Structure 1
Amino acid sequence: MQQGWVLVSLELEFPQMKEKAPDPVPSNPAFQITLYEGKHFTGWKLEVFGGCDNFQDRGFMNRVNSIRVESGAWVCFEHPDFRGQQFILEHGDYPDFFRWNGHNDHMSSCRPVGMVSGPFTLGGLPAEVTGVGWSGLVRHGDK
C-alpha cells in the first residue's frame, strides 16, 4: 500500500500529485477517509491515509460536501494546520455537511484520532464502577 494520500477525479488517479511531501502524520492502513467536493459522494475526491494538514497543498480545495470514513476515527478541522472548528467522524457515510453538524462546506485539514488503552479511572474509582462514559476519564499514571 502506498503511503500518504491520493487525489482522484471520477476514479482517475493523478500520479504527479503523489510526488509531493509526505503527510505530517504517518500513514497507517488502519485509517482511511475519503473527502468529496460534491454532495452524495460526487465530484473531485481526496483519499487520506494519515494526517493532512492542508487539503490545498494536495490539490484539493477546502470545499467538502460529503465524506466517507473507510476506517478509524477522524478529527477534521475547518482551517489548515489542524485549527478552527473540529468535527469528530467515525466509520460511515456522511452524504452532506449537515450529517457531521457542519454549518457550511469549509474543511481544510484532518487527522486520525489516536486511541489510548486503559485501565481508566474517574476521581479514583474505576470507570466501570461509576458507569461513566469516556468523557472525563483519566488513564492510570496520568496526572
Structure 2
Amino acid sequence: MGKAYGSAWKLRLYKRPDFGGQVVDCSDDCPSVYDTYKMREAYSCVVTDGAWVFYDLPNYRGHQYLLERGEYRQHGDWGAALPGVGSFRRITEF
C-alpha cells in the first residue's frame, strides 16, 4: 500500500476563465460533472487541498490531467486543449 497523498481534498471549479461565472465547491470524487453540477465545461479551477485527476469524459474515462494545489486560470494551465471536464477523483495514495 502506498503513502497517503493528503488528508483533505478541496477544489473549486469555475465555468469561465480567470475564476469567473458559475462556481462549484468539491471535496469528493465525481463520476459525472454534468449530472452532479449541471456543468459541461470548466474553464478555470483552484485546488486548495490535496491532488486530483480530471478526466475529459464521465465515469473516469478519457484523457487524464493531474491537478495539484494551485490556481489554474484557464483549462490550458492543466494541459487540456478543451475545457470539457467529464469527471474527477481525488488522489488518495501514491
For this structure pair, what is the TM-score category when the shorter chain's length is used for normalisation? 0.7 to 0.9
CA contact (8 A) 1:36 1:43 kept: yes
Give, in angstroms, the shift of residue 59 of structure 1: 3.1
Q: Equivalents in 2 of 1:30, 1:60: separation in Å?
A: 25
Tell me whether 1:55 sits opposite 2:63 in the alignment: no
* Unpaired stretches in structure 1, ≥5 consecutive residues: 1-28, 117-143
2:62 counterpart residue number:
84
Deviations along 1:65-93, one digit per CA (max 9) or x if unpaired, are 00100100000000010110000000000
User: Is 1:100 aligned to 2:72, yes or no?
Assistant: no
The structural deviation recorded for 1:99 is 0.6
Superposed displacement of residue 102, structure 1: 0.7
Q: Contact 1:78/1:86 (CA < 8 Å) preserved in 2?
A: yes
User: 4+ residue stretches of structure 1 with deviation over 4 A?
Assistant: none
TM score, norm. by length of structure 2: 0.88
| Whole-Å separation in 2 of the counterparts to 1:41 and 1:83 | 25
Structure 1 or 2: larger strand share? 2
In the aligned structure 1, how far is the partner of 2:38 from the partner of 2:20? 14
Distance 2:52 2:85 in 1: 13
**For residues 26-73 of structure 1, what are the alpha-carbon distances to aligned partners after superposition, in whole Å with 9 as ceiling and x for unaligned?**
xxx700111110000111112110101101112332111001001000
Aligned equivalent of 1:68: 46
Relative contact order (C-alpha < 8 Å, sep 6+): which is higher? 2
**TM-score normalized by structure 1?**
0.59
Aligned residue pairs total 89
1:33 is matched with 11
Report if aligned partners of 1:40, 1:96 keep a CA contact under 8 Å in 2.
yes
- Root-mean-square deviation (CA, aligned residues, Å) is 1.5
The share of aligned pairs that are identical, in percent, is 28
**CA offsets 1:102-143 (integer angstroms, 9 cap, x no match):** 101111111111214xxxxxxxxxxxxxxxxxxxxxxxxxxx
